[in-house]
Amino acid sequence: MNAQSAMMGSKEQLREKWMKPEVITGSEILLRSLLLEGVECVFGYPGGAVLYIYDAMHGFDDFKHVLTRHEQGAIHAADGYARASGKVGVCIATSGPGATNLVTGIATAYMDSVPLVVITGNVATNFIGTDAFQEADITGITMPITKHSYLVRDVEDLPRIIHEAFHIASTGRKGPVLIDIPKDVSAKKTMFKPETTTNIRGYHPTVNPNRLQTDKLLKAIESAERPIILAGGGVVYSGGHDELYQFVTTTGIPITTTLLGLGGFPSGHDLWLGMPGMHGTYASNKALQNADLLINIGARFDDRVTMKLDGFAPKAKVVHIDIDPAEIGKNVPTDIPIVGDVKTVLQILNKDAKHASQADAWRAQVETWKQEQPLRYEDSNTELKPQWVIEMLHRTTNGEAIVTTDVGQHQMWSAQYYKFNQPRSFITSGGLGTMGFGFPSSIGAQMAHPDRLVISINGDGGMQMCAQELAICAINNIPVKVVIINNQVLGMVRQWQEIIYKGRYSHIDLEGSPDFVKLAEAYGVKGLRATNKDEAESAWQEAMNTPGPVVVEFVVRKGENVYPMVQAGDTIDQMIMGDSE
């Protein structure tokens, strides 16, 4: 018997053990059910309402749990795990403040269509509604930001609810599902009967598209003179990156990828124009504004992409491919709506797709735009520029790392200057823009891919929101390389105040921030600092050569801005290209 066969046999034996029918508590049912769903790791923080659940973990070696230092750290780590792996992320918190501390992370996952199962404890059923100690109506609080939620009132419903939750979270438009378990339900015993089938009335996401609509798209491509593809996170989440590559190379249509779509198409390809929108490239924005056919594949026409809506892609016939019918026509009027799974839709299109033969002049035009106005910045030999730091990270890793970011200027520079060639290699909070997300999400990403290099790029502001999770890296030897782009200020807010608010700077100075090297060392993590290019190269190489976690602080120029930039109220071709403007 070879090693792989032995491993498969061992897994089957474990499944048989977990599925064994016997009288056990709701807490034991929960843990077994999670394992039967293939859960590899749960992130959480205990409290009174979940103590039966944590008691069931005691001595249960098959079940892996990581104790974070804050519930927000737990849900962001579960989110990072889900985005990096494509599996469902799981976190656990207690009732009341434990549950409410998850709200930001739930909203983050909901906005970005990330599959999570969020488990909260609640007070015993006879105390619900009495304002008992640490009681909060978490299902009510999170109703607008969950795909579905359950309040479990009968322990016998637990196996079905858990199985359904994973199905809902991971199918259709993915998203977070919340399971709220009262304390007495987690303590009550019943005969465990694993749930293996799912039949949820009224829940049947459309996977296969209407073939009449896909035929319309193929005909539109034949006659289009200026086509462009806008690819979003749906490409990555559906696993449709290979199909997208085939579609683009077959048709020869230029492509731009949104923030969450980065990595869904290789950044080095000749037909790739960059990212569109507020901080998008000149070529992407000009192409969108001049196209006669816009094919949206798995993007939701976010306002940071479209900017002024009534001036967006004014010359284009719009095609929108999306798993969620509610997104089609919501923001941008759509001429050819195609509801279905992106991967499936592209597989169907690829059977009959042909080269866009009328678009030769257009391809030459977009290439000219790329050459005329590439991304650029004024480099310096006396101080570190953040763009140079990101370019160095790309150069030294060959673009092969998993990169997570926080939110702000460093996020945009990472999207612009680190070139992503693989799906699920760029993890960032897109829709909600959650500061504090970047570092804990890297922990989840590293646990999903223990053999890959994971870089967490943060600003000095966002890093301080979840810095306590450094303890997790130290204790568990999670080898994340934490990069801090330290400009001593809330950079994106400062940029807006400079450009839009005429230099009226208000409450953006981060003076008094900790010495990040000492902070890292206080948690038992190596800390390094760089203030010029030589120090930066040396510190980063040392970090790369260190087997465990490392924090590297790059002290950069305070007044650097992200360009291009489109101001609110302008169309996306009204770009500010640099400080001189």
Report, as residue numbers or ranges, the catalytic residues.
71, 133-134, 183, 492
Two structure tokens written together for 21: 């029918």
Residue 298 identity (one-letter amino acid): G
Tokens of 367: 């290439």
Nearest to 494, CA basis, from 541, 461, 535: 461
Asked if 442 and 455 touch (Cβ cutoff 8 Å), the reply is: yes
Count the residues in the chain.
581
Tokens 């399971």: give the residue: 179
Residues 408/462, Cβ–Cβ less than 8 Å? yes
User: What are the DSSP calls for 256-291, one per residue?
Assistant: EE-TTTTTSS-TTSTTB----STT--HHHHHHHHH-
Rounded to an integer, what distance in angstroms lies between the CA atom of residue 335 and that of residue 111? 25
Query: Which residue's structure tokens are 């009732």?
Result: 95
The secondary structure of 148-200 as a DSSP string is EEEE---GGGHHHHHHHHHHHHHSSS--EEEEEEEHHHHH-EEE---------
Total Cβ atoms within 10 A of residue 274:
23
User: Is residue 136 within 8 Å of residue 96, measured between CB atoms?
Assistant: yes
Taking the C-alpha atoms of residue 459 and residue 465, their distance in angstroms, rounded to an integer, is: 10
Question: Distance from CA of residue 305 to its chain's centroid?
Answer: 17
Give the residue from 425, 408, 494 showing the smallest Cα distance to 459.
Answer: 408
Instruction: Decide if 435 contacts 458 (C-beta within 8 A).
Output: no
The residues, any chain, with a CB within 8 Å of residue 428's CB and separated by 6 or more, are: 259, 260, 404, 405, 407, 411, 414, 415, 437, 438
d(CA 218, CA 127): 60
366 is written with which tokens? 């977009």
Q: Would you list the DSSP string of 322-360?
A: ES-GGGTTTSS--SEEEES-HHHHHHHHHHH----GGGH
Amino acid letter, residue 130: T
Contact predicate 84/402, CB 8 Å: yes
